[in-house]
Amino acid sequence: MSDKSSPEHKNFKVALVGGGICGLTCAIALIRAGVPVQIFEAAAKLGEIGAGVGLGPNAVRILRTLGVLDDVLEKCNESELSTRMFRFVSGMEGHEVLYDLILVKYPESEENGGLGAHRAALLDALQKFIDPSIIHFKKRCVSVAPIENDPTRVVITFDDNTVYEADLVIGADGVHSAVRTAVTGGGENKAAFSNAICYRGLFPADMLKKASVKTDVTARSVCFAGKDKHLIVFPIKHAELINVVAFAADHNAPIGSKELEYPSVKDVSQKELLNEYEAWGSDVIDILKCIKTPSKWSIPVVYPPLETYVKGRIIVAGDSAHGMLPHLGAGAGQCIEDAYVIAQLLGHPGTTGSNIEAVLEAYDRVRRPRAQMVWEGSVKAGEIYDGYGEHGLSPQGIQEDLGGMWDRVWHHDVEDDVKSAVSWLRATTFGA
Ligand SMILES: Cc1cc2nc3c(=O)[nH]c(=O)nc-3n(C[C@H](O)[C@H](O)[C@H](O)COP(=O)(O)OP(=O)(O)OC[C@H]3O[C@@H](n4cnc5c(N)ncnc54)[C@H](O)[C@@H]3O)c2cc1C
């Protein structure tokens, strides 16, 4: 395992709010880049609710560059990378294969390798690369603001009435972000209800045999598609466990027109889950019957999209900036891309304590259009799986509508973002 503390060669201090996938990856990338960082996390310890998370090749490449991939694979009990492409199967009886994406587009290779991770294991693996003395728990940020008589400094106020001053603050505090208010000025950009809910559950793979499920969900990610609903089923922990996320959405109401349900995550009965999918095929019903204690999630997104991720020396990243629907399995990947770009820019030799605002603006310039493209793709993907694609849910329709959907997400080179931001900074700020 690599070092926890590379030599710090920057004279400014970064405060990171939030220790989720975005915050921890950002902290590791900053440490690697020699930028001093302190992390403030609301919870008493690091952890994730929810079961699995799929990371695409774009995210996996960054974990490899940061030198953490092997540890992540080991912790997640994955011996190798795999391409997490869906096999689309009808949710209705007969379970006709609609589209087998892997055969069409993505041959297995290192470069195309993705990862199905257990969330808690992923965070655990990342945490190992961070000196515990820089993570401060039970520190719920309530506000962030520039210091009145020194706009080059930012102060965070926590709910225990303590404060912390830094040269810049990164809000990686999730979709219900407190830091975002400081960037948007408390405007209308908020965690809005996406009109989608999901039921989640995890169970041992050998339950499938007893349940006589015919569709193979142990080797690949399967998307059972149908009108207004779809289920994503994929193996994790070396196919010891099966992760299920069963969605239901109202595609006729505009996003943000209905209130988010609180609490946004709650335990529900198996009966409620089975009722939701009553008319679906036997494989779907038998898979859902394996989930003894489902949880129901009311899914928030950041909407309307932010006009900027930056205000002075305060920025947002990850779900705090662009919380999106999970239909492309790409939200965490966007968090990881944000984290990498921020750290590369702050660690750049041209970056100093006095040009931080311009460097953060460069982050906004490259990251916001990219993340927004993925945000919009995630909405579109959900529409297609739920029968609202332009060409419908037939095998031809779904292939036509989904064709190439992941290319722009997965086969994007984050180093191009860094280069483009640096070349803008050279032209405007760093000098030749
Ligand atoms: C059902 C579902 C399935 C998904 N599946 C996938 C998938 O397969 N692949 C994928 O790439 N993405 C997926 N996503 C999206 C992905 O989970 C998120 O994009 C990602 O976890 C966001 O990470 P984050 O670090 O930005 O935010 P979070 O994970 O929300 O972390 C925020 C952290 O900040 C802390 N915090 C919050 N408020 C404060 C505060 N005020 N002060 C201090 N700390 C605070 C929290 O305790 C938490 O630790 C899915 C999402 C959902 C809902």
Domain boundary among 298, 316, 338: 298
Q: Judge if 294 and 413 occupy the same domain.
A: no
Residues 6+ apart with CB under 8 A from 259: 193
Answer yes or no: is pLDDT of 1 > 60. Answer: no
> Could you tell me if residue 24 is inside a domain?
yes
Residue ending a domain, among 298, 315, 347, is 298
- The stretch 148-175 carries a mean pLDDT of 97
Same domain, 163 and 240: no
Share of the chain above pLDDT 90, in %: 74
Q: Is the pLDDT of residue 30 over 80?
A: yes
Rounded alpha-carbon distances, angstroms, from residue 53 to 8, 200, 237, 272, 299: 32, 12, 11, 24, 15
Could you report the per-residue pLDDT of 258-295, keeping only the tens digit for each?
A: 988 888 899 999 999 999 999 999 999 999 999 999 99
Predicted confidence band at 336 (pLDDT cuts at 50, 70, 90)?
Answer: very high
Claim to verify: residue 227 and residue 325 sit in the same structural domain: no
Nearest ligand 1 atom, CA 24: 25
* Count of other CB atoms within 10 angstroms of residue 28: 25
| Conformational region of residue 245, where left means phi above 0, alpha means psi within -120 to 50, and beta covers everything else | beta
Checking if the pLDDT of 317 tops 50, the result is: yes
Ligand 1 contact, 22 CB (< 6 A): yes
Q: Please check whether residues 210 and 287 belong to one and the same domain.
A: yes
In a domain, residue 402? The reply is yes
Do 238 and 119 fall into the same domain?
no
Q: Is 382 in the pocket of ligand 1 (CB under 6 A)?
A: no
Pairing of strands 37-40, 135-136: parallel
Mutate to test the pocket of ligand 1, among 16, 26, 28, 41 (most ligand atoms within 8 A of CB): 41
Closest-CA residue, ligand 1 atom 37, reads 173
Q: Give Cα separations from 202 to 111, 160, 218, 382 (angstroms).
A: 29, 36, 13, 22
To the nearest whole number, what is the mean pLDDT of the chain?
91
Tens of pLDDT, residues 69-123: 999 988 877 766 766 678 999 999 999 999 987 654 555 566 678 887 888 889 9
Q: What is the pLDDT of residue 115?
A: 83
Q: Are residues 121 and 208 in the same domain?
A: no
> Are 230 and 372 contained in the same domain?
no
User: Where a domain ends, among 298, 327, 349?
Assistant: 298
* 58 belongs to a structural domain: yes
The DSSP line for 282-298 is: HHHHHHHHT-SS-EEEE
State the CATH number of the domain containing residue 43: 3.50.50.60
- How would residue 6 be classed by pLDDT, with cut points 50, 70 and 90? low
Is the pLDDT reported for residue 168 higher than 50? yes
Q: Report the nearest-CA residue for atom 51 of ligand 1.
A: 326
Short-list 17, 26, 16, 86, CA closest to 56: 86
| Ligand 1 site, residue 51, Cβ cutoff 6 A | no
Q: What is the mean pLDDT of residues 247-265?
A: 91
Ligand 1 pocket check: which of 164, 335, 374 to mutate, most ligand atoms within 8 Å of Cβ? Answer: 335
How much is the pLDDT for 48? 67
The residue segments making up the domain with residue 274 are 192-298
CB 332 near ligand 1, within 6 Å: yes
